[in-house]
Structure 1
C-alpha cells in the first residue's frame, strides 16, 4: 500500500472521527506536535486545532440539507480534499490541503465559500467526477498544468490558451463562463480581477491536478486553490476557491 493511499485513509478518518464524531483522542494521535495551521479561523498550532474540534463537539449540529461530497487527491506528502456539504441552510464548498510527515498531519491550508445563488456557468462550486481508480498520465498532466500556469495565468500569453484548454471546458468558478472563450474573457482584463504571481504547490493524481498559487484578487494579496481535470492532454474541467 502506497503512502498516498495511507494518507487519504487517515484524512477520511479525520473527517469522520475527529470532525464528525468529536474523537479528540484520534486527532491527538494523527496531528503532529509541531503542527502548523494556516487557517485564520482556528488558533495556531495543535492546541488551537484541538480546541476548535472540542468546541465543534459541543455545538448542536444543524440538520444537513444535502448529502456531503468529497474528492481526495494525493501525491507524495500532500492530500487535497474538495468537499461540499449543506450547513445551516447554505451549501458550503471547501478545499483543504494537508501535508504529512511520518504518518502525521504537520501542516494545513484551506479555502471556503458559500455556493452563490447565481453563476456565469450554472455549475456548483464543487461537484463532478472523482479521480479514476487507476490513475494514468499523472506526470504528463502535471507538466501540462505547470506550463499552463506559467504561460497563461502568470505571463498572460492568451494566444496559447487552446494549447492547454478544451473548447468545451466545464467551469465551476462562479465568475467565469463555460468554455475556452469564457476563460479567455475572464483573463483579459488586468488587474481588475485576478493576477497570479507565483505557483506555490502543484499536486497531481491521474486526471486531476491541484495548484496552490499566490497573487492578487481585486488588488488584494490572495492565495488561490485551483483544481483541474484533464482528458486526452487538455484541461476539460476547472474548480477554484480563494
Structure 2
C-alpha cells in the first residue's frame, strides 16, 4: 500500500469499524503519539476503541493530502464527547514508515453553528489539482508564513493572498482581506495577542499546502494547524484549527 492507503486503512479500522486487530496490523507498536490527552503507543489507541464504539462516535474525512511519508487528513468527528465536545473538526497528521503508521499529530476545535463568513470549517474545494505546481505553491506558502504569520514583513500580504478571492473557513473571520483585517484589528483593540513563533511542518500536494505551527493566542501557548489552497500563484482559500497546548500531557512527546 502507499502511505496514503495505509493511513486511510488505519482510519477505517480505528474510527469506522473499531477493529483493534486490523488497527494492530497498521500501527507500529511504538506508535508515537502527540495528542496531549492520549498515551503513546499503539495499544493505548486500540484499548480506547470499545468505549469509542459504544459512544456512537462517527468520523468523516473531507480532505487528504500527502508528501513523502507525511499524510494530512481534514476530519469532522461527531458524537465525540469522549474527545471533549459533541462535534470536533480536526487536522490529523500521520507519518508512515515501512508500511506502518509510526507517528501522529492532531489539532482539534469545536465548530460554531454560525460563522463570520457563512462557510463551515470543512466545506469548500477538496480536489487535489496542479500536481506540477507543488514545489511552487509550497514556496509561496512558506513565504507567507515567514513574512506574514511570523511577522517578518507583514506588508507583503498581497504578494501571497489574492486581493480578489479569499475564502475563509476560520469561524471568526469573514471572507477577503478586509475580513482578515477586521479580525486582526479587533484583536489589537482588545489587547489580545496572536503570534506565530515556530512552524514545525509544511506538507504540500498540488494546490494544497498544510502548515503546523505553534505560538501564542491570548495568554496561552497555542497550536495553529492551517491549510491553504493556492490558485494561479495566490492563496485563495484557508481552513484551520486552533488549540491551546496544555502544560501537562499524557506522554513526553510534546505537541510537535
Q: TM-score, normalised by structure 1?
A: 0.88
**Structure 2 residue aligned with 1:221:** 221
Q: Which residue in 1 is equivalent to 2:168? A: 171
Alpha-carbon displacement from aligned partner over 1:59-116 (angstroms, at most 9, x marks no partner): 1427x7xx93421010011000001254379553111111111111111111122221
Greater RCO (Cα-Cα under 8 Å, separation 6 or more): 2
CA deviation map 1:169-214 (0-9, x unaligned): 0000012121012223334555614210011000000000000001
For residues 211-234 of structure 1, what are the alpha-carbon distances to aligned partners after superposition, in whole Å with 9 as ceiling and x for unaligned? 000101112111110000000000
Contact 2:6 2:101 in 1 (8 A): no
State the match for 1:102 in structure 2.
98
Q: Secondary structure at the match of 2:140?
A: helix
Aligned residue for 2:211, secondary structure, equals: strand
Q: Determine the structure 2 residue equivalent to 1:192.
A: 192
1:60-209 map, 5 Å: 60-61=55-56, 68-87=60-79, 90-132=86-128, 135-155=131-151, 157-167=153-163, 168-187=165-184, 189=187, 192-209=192-209
Say whether the 8 Å CA contact 2:128–2:208 is kept in structure 1: no
Q: Please, which runs of 5 or more residues in structure 1 have no aligned partner?
A: none
1-side partners of 2:132 and 2:142: how far apart? 17
**Counterparts of 1:155 and 1:127 in 2: how far apart (Å)?**
29
CA distance in 2, matches of 1:11, 1:203: 15
Structure 2 gaps of 5+ residues are: 243-256
Question: Match for residue 18 of structure 1?
Answer: 14
3-state secondary structure, aligned to 2:196: strand
Q: Alpha carbon RMSD of aligned pairs, Å? A: 2.2
Distance 2:226 2:232 in 1: 19
